[in-house]
Structure 1
Amino acid sequence: MSDITFTKLSVGPMDNNAYLLRCTGTGEGLLIDAANDAERLLQLIDSSPGGISTVVTTHRHQDHWMALEEVVAATGAASLAHAADAPQIPVVTGTIADGDTLPLGDCQLTVIHLVGHTPGSIALYHDGHLWTGDALFPGGVGNTWGDKANFESLINDVSTKIFDRYPDETQFHPGHGKDSTLGAERPSLPEWRARGW
């Protein structure tokens, strides 16, 4: 991407990935998942001029927002999440929905609602990159704890809203672990569906 740079930081104790995105034109910043280690996140934010205007929480599970209150208090950033998960997140100043566009300086991120891991799980897309939270990983969709309806919802949303929409070269960046591409994972979709997790 020429118009957005991003930095990935793994924070403990569950090795969550937090992502700092910055518009190269304006310097405006956005943080995806203030998961933990507020001090390290704030050092990352402060190390690149421009601060942040927004924190987006990909879903309501606690390991993705442990540092949210401290980061929002220190930066004055807006805190956004999907309305279906917002009541379980400690500080939310606005909600987002499927198909919304989030401004980041001169750029825009597209919100993709992926139901199943939680009711309000989201991914964000910009220019060949997806930040998928815990909805999509290398090797499968997110955990649905044996709930068949939730799994069907998630595999269907991931299939139609991500794999049917974006090309193989699209890179995705999950809430834990390593990145991958849609092309690397696409051949496994039938296997994921058949195994039910």
Structure 2
Amino acid sequence: MLDHWHNGFIRYLRTSSTEGPKIRSVGFFPLTKSKPRWNSTQGIKLRISARGFSNGINADKGEAGMLIKQMLVGVMDVFCYIIGCEITKRAILIDPAGDEEHVVNTAADLGYTIEAVVNTHGHPDHTCGNEQIVKLTRAKIMIHEADWQYLDAYGVSLQWGFRSSPPADVLLRDGDIVEFGNERLTVLHTPGHTPGSICLYGDKNLFTGDTLFVEAVGRT
């Protein structure tokens, strides 16, 4: 049943880009530390339930129903974003890169619960906060399938003085739609900075990670 949830499992809906919103298949994947083997190219909807993955991603537009909180964190001046649904108070975190307790406390003060972390790419300056955020919130980690191996690059992280990240819970692809609450962001695969760099787009907001810099490297 489409509305049936299994604790500890991710529900995905595969749709056809050529046939409109028609659902091709429905299934479940267990949460796992190994690389998931998905074979669809786009149109997946990932949902984050109250006990694990529930429904959806929110972007803050500044309009009713959405919140965007930009925070400059870490030694590399990385912009981290709290994106939340004002109706359900569910939120995601884009690129946690330091000051994790402050970020989580800020979300709590605003009344939001962080349920997922989305990394725009796998460089350690954008993923070094993953571990602590997961410990504080039990959020699930999402990253593009071409960058998942960077999360385990312990030598690289230590060389630059960053904490390594736990493995990803969800691997993203171009065209995936991640929803929480009543909002959604679309995954745009923008390789170049890394093979798996992504942007997230929704409601006229674009979160670019290191695909686009503001004036200089690090201000993304």
TM-score of the aligned structures, taking structure 2 as reference length: 0.62
Aligned residue-pair number: 144
1:43 aligns with 2:125: no
Deviation, 1:139, is 5.9
Q: 2:170 aligns with which of 80, 86, 94?
A: 94
Q: 2:119 maps to what in 1?
A: 57
Q: 2:67 maps to what in 1?
A: 5
Unaligned runs of 5+ in 1: 144-174, 178-197
**Identity within the alignment, %:** 37
1:132 aligns with 2:208: yes
Q: Distance in 2 between matches of 1:36 and 1:74?
A: 13
More helix by share: 1
1:72 aligns with 2:137: no
Tell me the SS of whatever aligns to 2:193: coil
1:123 aligns with 2:203: no
Deviation, 1:138, is 4.2
Q: 1:31 maps to what in 2?
A: 93
> CA deviation digits over 1:66-119, x for unaligned, max 9?
111010111011110001111211221111110000002111110000011000
Tell me the SS of whatever aligns to 1:134: helix
1:176 aligns with 2:216: no
Q: Distance in 1 between matches of 2:98 and 2:80?
A: 9
1:83 aligns with 2:126: no
Q: Distance in 1 between matches of 2:117 and 2:144?
A: 12
Q: CA RMSD in A?
A: 1.7
Q: 1:185 maps to what in 2?
A: none
Q: What residue identity is the alignment partner of 2:79?
A: N
> CA deviation digits over 1:32-52, x for unaligned, max 9?
011112222222222122311
Deviation, 1:13, is 0.6
Q: What residue identity is the alignment partner of 1:42?
A: V
Q: Distance in 2 between matches of 1:96 and 1:86?
A: 10
Q: Distance in 2 between matches of 1:131 and 1:64?
A: 13
Q: Distance in 2 between matches of 1:7 and 1:85?
A: 25
Q: Distance in 2 between matches of 1:61 and 1:25?
A: 33
Tell me the SS of whatever aligns to 1:52: strand
